[in-house]
Chains A and B, each alone.
Chain A
Amino acid sequence: MSSQTFEDSRLVFLAPWDNWVIVLVLVLAASALLLRATSYRGRASTVVALSLFLLRAIALGAVVLTVFQPALRHRSVTRVPNQIALLTDSSRSMAIIDGSGAESRFARSKAMLGRSGPLLDSWRKSHRIESYVFGSSLRRVGLSALKSQPAADEETLIGKALSALRKEAGAEELGGVVLISDGIANGKFAKDALTAPDREFIKALKAPIHTIWVGDDKGFDISIRQVLAEQFAFVRNAVSVEVHVEVKGLRQPAELPVLLKKEGEVLARRRLLVKPEQSDYTVKFEFVPRRVGMYAYSVEVPTLADELLKSNNKRSFLLQVIRDRIRILLVCGRPSWDQRFLRRLLKQDPNVDLISFFILRTPASLALVPPSEMSLIPFPTRELFETELGGFDLIIIQNFNYGPYRIGAYLPHIRRYVETGGGLAMVGGELSFSSGGYYGTPVAEILPVRLLPNTLRPKHLISEADFRLRLSDRGREHPIMQIGSGRRDLDQLFATLPPLSGTNRLAGLAPGASALAVHPKLRANDGRPMPVIATRQIAKGRSMSVSADSTWRWAFSANEPGRFRRAYERFWRNAVRWLIDDPELQYLKIIVQRHRVRVGFPFRYTFRAYTTDYRPAVGLKIEYEVGQLGGGGAESKTIITDENGEAHLTYRAVKTGPHRIIARAKVAGRKTEVQTLVLVKPRGSEGDSSRATPHILKQISEISGGKHFHESDRLPQLSFKAPRVLRVNWRRDDELWSSWWWLLLAVVLLGVEWAVRRRLGYL
Chain B
Amino acid sequence: MIRPTLIVCLVLIGALERDVQAFGEGARVRIAQLRYQGGNFMPRPAALRRLAWEVAKRTSVNMAVETKVLGALDRQIFSYPILYVGGDQAFDRFSDAAIAKLRQYMSFGGMIWVDSSENRSGGGFEESIRRLTSRLFPKKKLQAVGTKHTLFKSFYLLQGMVGRVATEPEVLALELEGRLALVYGKSDLAGAWARDNFGRWEFDVHPGGDRQRELAFRWGVNLIMYALCLDYKSDQVHIPFILKRRRWQIR
Contact = CB atoms under 8 A, between A and B. Distances in A.
Contacts of B24: 464-465, 501-502
Contact of A464 (B23, B101, B156): B23
A501 B108 contact: no
B246 A358 contact: no
Contacts of A355: 235, 239, 242-243
A388 interface: yes
B30 to A, nearest CB: 10
Interface in A344-379: 344, 347-348, 353-356, 358-362, 365-366, 368-369, 372-377
A238 interface: yes
Contacts of A362: 60
The interface centre, meaning the residue of B23, B77, B236, B242 with most chain A CB atoms within 10 A of its CB, is: B23
B214 A344 contact: no
Contact of A327 (B22, B23, B101, B246): B246
Interface in B10-69: 18, 20-24, 26-27, 29, 57-62
B58 A366 contact: yes
Contacts of A287: 250
B154 A375 contact: yes
A715 B179 CA distance: 88
Interface stretch (A87-95, A159-167, A331-339): A331-339
Contacts of A686: none
Contacts of A356: 232, 235
Contacts of B179: 344
A369 B243 contact: no
Contacts of B108: 555-557, 561, 565
Contacts of B162: none
Given A390-B248, A558-B104, A344 B27 contact: no
A365 B27 CA distance: 20
Contact of B243 (A343, A388, A555): A388
A431 B62 CA distance: 11
A287 B248 CA distance: 9
Interface residues of A, number: 69
Contacts of B249: 238, 288, 390-391
Interface string A534-578: 000000000000001110010111100100010000000000000
The interface centre, meaning the residue of A288, A358, A368, A375 with most chain B CB atoms within 10 A of its CB, is: A375
Contacts of B59: 335, 360-361, 365
Interface string B99-126: 0010010001110000000000000000
A202 B228 CA distance: 80
B130 to A, nearest CB: 26
B23 A462 contact: yes
A462 B60 CA distance: 19
A373 B246 CA distance: 33
Interface in A392-433: 401, 428-431
Given A337-B228, A358-B232, A374-B157, A429 B246 contact: no
A557 B81 CA distance: 10
A335 B61 contact: yes
Contacts of B139: none
B58 A430 contact: no
A402 B209 CA distance: 40
A550 B233 contact: no
A462 B157 contact: no
A254 B139 CA distance: 78
Contacts of B227: 340
A391 B248 contact: yes
A322 B214 CA distance: 52
B192 to A, nearest CB: 15
A556 B23 contact: no
Interface in B221-251: 225, 227-233, 235-236, 239, 242-243, 245-250
A368 B58 CA distance: 8
The interface centre, meaning the residue of B22, B109, B233, B249 with most chain A CB atoms within 10 A of its CB, is: B22
A286 B101 CA distance: 57
Contact of B81 (A337, A374, A430, A466): A337
A396 B73 CA distance: 36
A336 B153 contact: no
The interface centre, meaning the residue of A327, A337, A353, A374 with most chain B CB atoms within 10 A of its CB, is: A337
A757 to B, nearest CB: 115
Nearest to A462: B21
A501 B23 contact: yes
Contacts of B177: 348
A458 to B, nearest CB: 4
Contact of A549 (B23, B153, B218, B243): B23
A465 B229 CA distance: 26
Contacts of B29: 335-337
Interface in A119-142: none
Contact of B78 (A234, A336, A558): A558
B75 interface: yes
The interface centre, meaning the residue of A343, A359, A360 with most chain B CB atoms within 10 A of its CB, is: A360
Contacts of B78: 553, 556-558
Nearest to A286: B250
Contact of B236 (A336, A373, A377, A428): A377
B239 A466 contact: no
B155 A558 contact: no
Contact of A430 (B21, B75, B235): B21
Nearest to A391: B248
A701 interface: no
A186 interface: no
B250 A288 contact: yes
Interface string A217-234: 000000000000000001
A238 B247 contact: yes
Contacts of B225: 335, 360
The interface centre, meaning the residue of B26, B77, B218 with most chain A CB atoms within 10 A of its CB, is: B26
A586 interface: no
B134 interface: no
B143 interface: no
A729 B118 CA distance: 127
Nearest to B250: A286
A340 B230 contact: yes
B20 A458 contact: yes
Contact of A374 (B155, B232, B243): B155
A540 to B, nearest CB: 16
A478 interface: no
A496 to B, nearest CB: 14
A430 B153 contact: no
Nearest to B56: A365
A556 B155 contact: no
A458 B155 contact: no
A353 B230 CA distance: 17
Contact of A561 (B26, B104, B230, B239): B104
A431 B19 CA distance: 10
A312 interface: no
A360 B243 CA distance: 22
A553 B155 contact: no
Given A236-B248, A375-B154, A430 B61 contact: no
A368 B211 CA distance: 12
B156 A359 contact: no
A336 B228 contact: yes
Given A390-B248, A501-B26, A458 B18 contact: yes
A372 B158 CA distance: 11
A361 B156 CA distance: 12
24 contacts: A236-B246, A237-B247, A334-B60, A334-B61, A343-B232, A344-B179, A353-B242, A353-B245, A355-B239, A355-B242, A365-B59, A369-B218, A374-B156, A375-B153, A390-B249, A430-B21, A461-B20, A464-B21, A501-B24, A502-B22, A503-B23, A550-B26, A553-B78, A561-B104
Which 8 A-B residue pairs are closest in the complex by CB-CB distance?
A502-B23, A464-B24, A391-B248, A335-B228, A501-B26, A334-B60, A375-B153, A238-B247
Given A430-B62, A458-B21, 9 more contacts: A335-B59, A335-B225, A340-B109, A361-B60, A391-B243, A459-B21, A501-B24, A549-B27, A561-B108
